[in-house]
Amino acid sequence: MLAQAFTKEMLVWSQLKAHPGHPEIAEFLGFYADFKRGEAWLLSPWEPNGNISEFIRSHNLEIPEKLSLVYDTIEALGFLHQLDPPVCHGDIKSANVLVGANFKAVLCDFGLARLHEDSGFGRLETSTGFKGSLRWCSPEIIDGAPRVPSRGVYSWAWLVWEVRPLH
């Protein structure tokens, strides 16, 4: 089960390379898997400024700088959701948004990403049971509903709350 789910999730992220020109999506470098031990990781570059929460805590940013990071994240989400079929990230939160050397936000950790088709046929659902970070999940996902793009927007709103650009 882990191997099959991991392979599908890896394919979702790795196929994003076919859409160049989206620097707000972390590059997929590869993977490590030891299925006998139940371990599997998707690998991306680490950004020098850490995640968005750490970056904001350690820098005295003005409101426009914080808003710029927020805009980068919605660009990433918009890109994923406009694909055919749309990609639902599945775990949008500050720990999964890195800040690059160019001070741009980069969405990473596609371990829960899913392809979504409105028809329901061919929709990739690779995990069973609840997955993700409870605080950031929409109530519908907590109740067992499938991941769809609009539920990612709910998670994004919590990310914005974490960043709190007006504080």
Quick check: 131 and 103 in contact, CB under 8 A?
Answer: no
Q: What phi and psi, each to the nearest 5 degrees, are found at residue 12?
A: -55, -50
Q: Give catalytic residue positions.
A: 91
The single residue listed with the structure tokens 């049971």 is 129
User: What are the C-alpha distances in Å from 153 to residues 25, 28, 73, 149, 160?
Assistant: 16, 23, 11, 7, 10
Sign of the CA dihedral running 57, 61, 63, 68: negative
